[in-house]
Structure 1
């Protein structure tokens, strides 16, 4: 719907509070899917053991208004795809130049070669209490994680170019 190149700000919320905000370049918005490109927004290096996010990395992020997840392609400074980091979230909302998503703790990692697919933070999800406070959202989150795992296993996660 909107032309690529406009700037947006990503607001990632968790438990009702803004966890992080960062600027991104809007690549596309078709009314259902918002795609942006952003540099690694963290401070310094974040080493998960299975992947390192570090200054110079580029993320191409796909936010959906019709699904309970966001998919982030992670590229190294040299342009090599590291893999996909997928967040289970409530459907994205874009208001003007702000894209907001609510993180629901569950995550999935898929390596660039598809050989490693990891479900992450299931303990955080269980401890969040979402199953008790919003059972429908908890069910949707668990379905989203299973959907992401299936997409990763079938090689169907989005792939674009970092630059």
Structure 2
């Protein structure tokens, strides 16, 4: 009886220790799907950054994503499973000067396998931007600075207002 208990204990102990694996945890600092970086520039001096007052950003048909905030640069996500993402950009939110412009970003999503722990990230290529024209656009023009969105270190789009 004592011999059976020893063998049973040894079998259970071996199964537990040999069956365990190291946890798959994606290391901190691993590149993930990048955000689209947008900088806002002054229409009178296009080389000078200019903050948008009380900016609110909403994805089409969604809740407020960002704002209200006064800033000259934002980072927003793009849809990874589609080739188009639409946002509403509202300047001077909740004031008599409130003005909303609709912007559409089109691109080609490219999946990239990182590893088993981290899975995939999506880069975006051939990015294009288009502001829907209305009678009172606060966004005067857009410039694509980088056609490929692969990191968040530099601006991808500049908006002149």
Structure 1 length normalisation: TM-score?
0.27
Larger Rg: 2
Structure 2 length normalisation: TM-score?
0.27
**Greater percentage in helix:** 1
Larger RCO (CA under 8 A, 6+ residues apart): 2
